[in-house]
Structure 1
């Protein structure tokens, strides 16, 4: 029997991060279908022209195309009530177009913090802060 409440939510987020780290777009898409509500409120610095779970899928399509070896390391999580906060370090090698930049072959490392709200075991809200400035500097798109 799955753990109840906050422990279950943290376990779900860990399973989601495992899927993301698979590097397989199909696995990520299936994980979003399983763990994320279709009408999830997705508020992060990723203007994708979509909403809900479809926006999240598009973000991961773009990231996996640009950084096929992308890897999210969860540095710490804080769980309280219906929310899980995840502070992560992300690494990846720029092998595909990203934000208008052709592939550079450079490796990026950046930080992000996300707050996930859960309802009935599924992610219903995602709010995030991603250090896009660090990404773009490391890719040479902005001065260091």
Structure 2
């Protein structure tokens, strides 16, 4: 399981012209799910999302995590993160989870996140989404489990 995380000042997701999720400062996590991902992978990723130190302390060093700054967590499924781009000029998706498995794993991750943290929003799995964000820094990391 992969998450491309961005520290944001604000993030918003729209589906069919309607806002389905929004956060102020926090993390936008684009989630890629592969065939071999399990609930254990999702649990490990969630732990990283909540505890990864990407927010600045009083000395300007990235020493604080999402919970310490009381930030929002926006989860957005992104099938293309599972792409194999190592060769050729067209991405391959043979490692990506099939839609039913992907939705099940994303739903599990979202449910666990809302149980663990109060400031959680999300996109809509499988939908054509428009994601707006203000990247703070910019700070962007790829987390993998």
Verify same fold: TM over 0.5.
Answer: no
TM-score, normalized by length of structure 1? 0.23
TM-score, normalized by length of structure 2? 0.23
Q: Which has the higher helix share?
A: 1
Larger RCO (alpha carbons 8 Å, 6+ apart): 2
